[in-house]
Amino acid sequence: MTAALTTEQIGVLARAVSRAPSVHNSQPWQLLIRGTEVDLIERREVELRRHDPLGRDRVLSCGAALTNLELAVRALGRDCHVDLRADGDVVATVTIGRPRATSARDYALYQAIGRRRSHRHRFFHNRVPTDVCRALAAAGETTGVHVNVPGPLDKLAELLGFATRVLRDDRGYQRELAVWTTHTHGWDAHGDGVAEEALSPEALPVAGLVRTGTPVPDDAVLADRLAAENLLIICTDGDARADHLAAGAALQRVWLTAAAKALVGSVITQPLHLTGVRARLVSELALPGVPQAIFRFGYPAVPAAPSPRLPLGELFRPPGGTR
């Protein structure tokens, strides 16, 4: 019979999930522990109606949390099985199995959870070696999920520039973004949202979240800036909830692989919510699926502080709260 989790082991899982990246650092998840089964629950009350009107990024965030949960279970020396849910608040159930030796790769990714940062500032100008870029892309490749180096960059620059101008002038978007940035300053161990100092006018316009004062270079300049970056696009075969969850899980594996190699990164999703942008990306960049996120990464030019986190007590859903 499989042994139930101890209090200390539950704490390991909770801390790993709490450190997952999420849209606007909203942390839209909870856990329900049922013996050797752990439900990962989507907190649908966390709404970003202008940035994420369909909740796609919220599910991507839950996918990243699922990767952390799996890695934490394996780091405890236990096997696990993941059952994805097609609907309802529970997005996945992780069933914890018998003892199993932790692979070196899984343990390295688990160790990287605490080092991963959202780095919206500029990178050093030196490029990441090709073999490292390939390792990051390979880390995210799985059934139904494809990781691609974008090109041609002039087309990508044109679309990102268009999106930046639209978002900069969208008053509803700007009001929502202000709510998620102004209430968080510096290191706050008990909170959510994006710290003001985490944003940077030096990074790409869409990398630092677009605000009213964000400058927009012309397309040629933006293409040159993109050429100096390291970019990957996460695509999926479909565009249902399971695809969004798989994309988030894959993105987190890519990001943790980067962190394990002393790299930092940030995610661009804002432009992908504008009407027609994803379809044009597919046609202009010849992508093999539906684009769900753009990951930029490199060596940090300045250190990135950890994002604030909600208290661990808020992570747990009381028994009977949902199924």
pLDDT digits (tens, 9 = 90+) for 37-88: 999 999 999 999 999 999 999 999 999 999 999 999 999 999 999 999 988 9
pLDDT digits (tens, 9 = 90+) for 112-129: 999 999 998 888 877 899
Which among 245, 255, 227, 256 is positioned nearest to 292, based on CA atoms? 245
CATH superfamily of 7-116: NADH Oxidase (3.40.109.10)
Q: Does pLDDT of 256 surpass 60?
A: yes
Computed on alpha carbons and rounded to an integer, the radius of gyration of the chain in Å comes to: 19
| Residue at 138: amino acid letter | A
Q: Where are the domains of the chain?
A: 7-116, 130-298
Task: Give me the sheet containing 145-148, strands edge to edge.
Answer: 145-148, 230-236, 290-298, 264-268
Q: Does pLDDT of 2 surpass 90?
A: no
Q: What percent of the chain has pLDDT over 90?
A: 78
Q: The pTM is what?
A: 0.95
Contacts 24+ apart (CB under 8 A), 167-175: 167/210, 167/270, 167/271, 167/274, 168/210, 168/211, 168/212, 168/214, 168/216, 169/212, 170/50, 172/49, 172/50, 173/50, 173/51, 173/210, 174/211, 174/212, 175/50
Residue 308's φ and ψ, nearest 5 degrees, are -65, 155
Task: Give me the sheet containing 37-42, strands edge to edge.
Answer: 29-34, 37-42, 90-99, 78-84
CB 191 within 8 A of CB 184: yes
Q: Which CATH number fits domain 130-298: 3.40.50.620, 3.40.50.10140, 3.40.109.10, 3.40.50.300?
A: 3.40.109.10
Residues 245, 246, 248, 249, CA torsion sign: positive
